[in-house]
Amino acid sequence: MKILVVCLGNICRSPLGEAILQQKAKEHGLNWQVDSAGTNGFHTGEPPHSMSQKVAALNGLDISGQRSRKFISEDFFRYDKIYAMANDVLYDMKRIGGPTFDDSKAELFLDQLLPGRNMDVPDPWSGPEEGYHDVFKLIDQAAEAIVHSYIVQ
């Protein structure tokens, strides 16, 4: 299974989502390839935000080797499932995807954890370190729910 996690800039939320979801899939014996991207492309080629790297490292994950890339319409052909970190990101995915947008593949990241609530993972960018810890915990819980949803199928 190939999964893509998408946020706005691909430097805060989606790099954490990529690493956490990949780790949980591995722990549960799932053969998944997890990647991440951003809809705005402002940070293409850059590593994750220093606070995302710090919080990941404090939780045993090294995301320093990740590099931001822009989400493109062809991603709907390359991935089996694409998780958007927020509603505005999902909207941008529809706009970028155009006729290739596949509603059956796109979903909000928090939908498995909080079904029907259409909730966003808050963007911690430019905020205090505490926000990055809160986002890590939320992404971790949602990633566990996502993995569990595939185990029980």
Q: Which of 13, 35, 92, 120 is catalytic?
A: 13
- What pTM, to 2 d.p., does this model score? 0.97
Q: Which of 7, 35, 92, 120 is catalytic?
A: 7
Catalytic status, residue 7: yes
Catalytic status, residue 140: no
Between CA 123 and CA 12 the distance in angstroms is 7
Output the pLDDT for position 101.
98
Catalytic status, residue 12: no
The beta strands (E) that lie in the chain are given as 2-7, 33-38, 81-84, 106-108
Between CA 54 and CA 66 the distance in angstroms is 14
> Could you read off the pLDDT of 9-65 as tens digits, one per residue?
999 999 999 999 999 999 999 999 999 999 999 999 999 999 999 999 999 999 999
Between CA 40 and CA 43 the distance in angstroms is 8
**Dihedral sign (CA 81, 84, 88, 92):** negative
> Please, what are the domains in the chain?
2-151 (3.40.50.2300)
Between CA 15 and CA 51 the distance in angstroms is 11
Question: How confident is residue 121, by pLDDT bands cut at 50, 70 and 90?
Answer: very high
Q: Which of 35, 75, 120, 123 is catalytic?
A: 123
